Amino acid sequence: MKIGLYLYSKLLIMANKIKVRFNLGRGKNYMKWKIQSKSGVEYHYPADVQLIMKGCQLKNNRKTAEKIFNGENKDVCAWVLCDSIDIKFDNFEKVWVKDKLSYNPRKQPHWVWNGWDVDNKRIDEIITIDYGMYAVVEGSLKNKLVG
């Protein structure tokens, strides 16, 4: 029954939230965006879609990320929780390259934006372009459009 209680509490934490992460698990969904919501799980190839996430929070299991940073095997440790998501299949939005978010626990054990540790930070909107995630932030310095 421990597993049932764990799943129940995990669902309570994520209640009405959508969880988005990049799937690196082997198999047919390798290198695809994984979108989990109360209605189920979807996988999308990054070149085929653009995700527009609203009401976002950057999540990270820091303990797991630190282990990876120190040379241990990779495991799932980071994701974006969002209030809503729009999955576009055409007419993609353009974003500013300076606003790129990154996550690679081999380089830094936390989410990075413009050199800052942004774990658990809230961002109004995040847009994907292929394999990249970009923060849409009012008033940020902009330099080059991508998309």
Judge whether 116 lies within some domain: yes
Q: Give pairs for 106-114: CB < 8 Å, separation 24+.
A: 106/68, 106/69, 106/74, 107/69, 108/69, 109/60, 109/62, 109/65, 109/66, 109/68, 109/69, 110/60, 110/62, 110/65, 111/58, 111/60, 111/78
Judge whether 11 lies within some domain: no
Q: Report which DSSP code applies to 99.
A: G
Predicted pLDDT of residue 15: 57
* Binned average pLDDT, 10 residues per bin, the chain of 147 residues: 41 68 91 92 95 95 95 91 94 80 95 93 93 78 44
Predicted pLDDT of residue 4: 41
Judge whether 56 lies within some domain: yes
Judge whether 32 lies within some domain: yes
Judge whether 2 lies within some domain: no
Name 56's bridge partners. Answer: 82, 123
Predicted pLDDT of residue 9: 37
Provide the residue range defining the domain that includes 140: 17-146
Judge whether 5 lies within some domain: no
Predicted pLDDT of residue 133: 95
Report how far apart, in Å, the C-alpha atoms of 84 and of each of 51, 78, 97 are: 10, 18, 23
Predicted pLDDT of residue 65: 94
Report how far apart, in Å, the C-alpha atoms of 124 and of each of 58, 83, 90, 100, 107 are: 11, 10, 22, 14, 26
Give pTM, 2 decimals: 0.82
Q: Are strands 78-88 and 145-146 parallel, antiparallel or unpaired?
A: unpaired
| Alpha helices by DSSP H, the chain | 2-13, 62-69
What's the domain count of the chain? 1
Judge whether 135 lies within some domain: yes
Predicted pLDDT of residue 47: 95
Residue type, 147: G
Predicted pLDDT of residue 97: 67
- For residues 100, 105, 110, 113, the Cα torsion angle rounded to the nearest 10 degrees is -10
Predicted pLDDT of residue 16: 72
Judge whether 42 lies within some domain: yes
